[in-house]
Amino acid sequence: MELVSLADLLDLQKLDLAIDRLLEQRQNLPELEEYKTLHTGLEEVEKKKESAATSLKQSELDLDKADGELQMLEAKLSEHETRLFAGGMSGRETEHMRLEVQGLRGQREALEERVLQMLEDIEPERDEVGSLEAEIETMKGEKATLEGSIKKQWKKIDGELARKEDRKRDAVGPIDDELMELYEKLRRIKEGVAVASYDHNVCGGCHMALSPAEHDEAFTVDLPRCVHCRRILVA
């Protein structure tokens, strides 16, 4: 294994940790949680509005139908009243027509009350749909604002990531492939920290003190390794 300066390897470690922090920051922006909550809430309100709109549409169809029936009934009543008041019918026919007109007037009164009640009932449904539509528009505005904030922060973080990735490529260049393989392996299993500073006989990775014998064991090889956590040590 061809070694480079272990101090350079420690610098690479610092770069990688900085990249890790940026990636974590990118994935855990406070606005992201707000965005997810708002997105879920918006979907729920849209479903509620869709249900309310469907119910309103059916109520409007029922109202239109009842109103049409009322108009037909009024036309029929007007025709019968005209015939009744025109005369020229026998007494029996007149009495029959009078009863017919009386019955139609009763039906008209009942249907008018029904239509009025439907008009009264439909207003709260229209208000609910309008209120939900306004709420949806407000939430969409808030969502758009959050999206803009998130994209702005991501752009800034991505720019910093790109700069650090460029520096990392330069730092990795001189390092032997075998050493890089060990470094990356240790990074995966040691919570991102493969290289640790060694100061006052203490490993900066696991924070364990090395005895004189352990110090000798760690530093009598080409690549110093902590005897406790097996991280690469840089004195």
Tokens 């998130």, located at residue: 150
- Asked if residues 225 and 186 have their Cβ atoms less than 8 Å apart, the reply is no
Q: What is the pTM (predicted TM-score) of this model?
A: 0.70
Residues 67-117 pLDDT 10s: 999 999 999 999 988 888 887 888 888 889 889 999 999 999 999 999 999
Enumerate residues 6+ apart whose C-beta is below 8 A from 84. Answer: 94, 97, 98, 101
Look at strands 202-203 and 195-199 and give their pairing.
Answer: antiparallel
Residues 146-177 pLDDT 10s: 999 999 999 999 999 999 999 999 988 888 88
Domains of the chain, earliest start first = 27-172 (1.20.120)
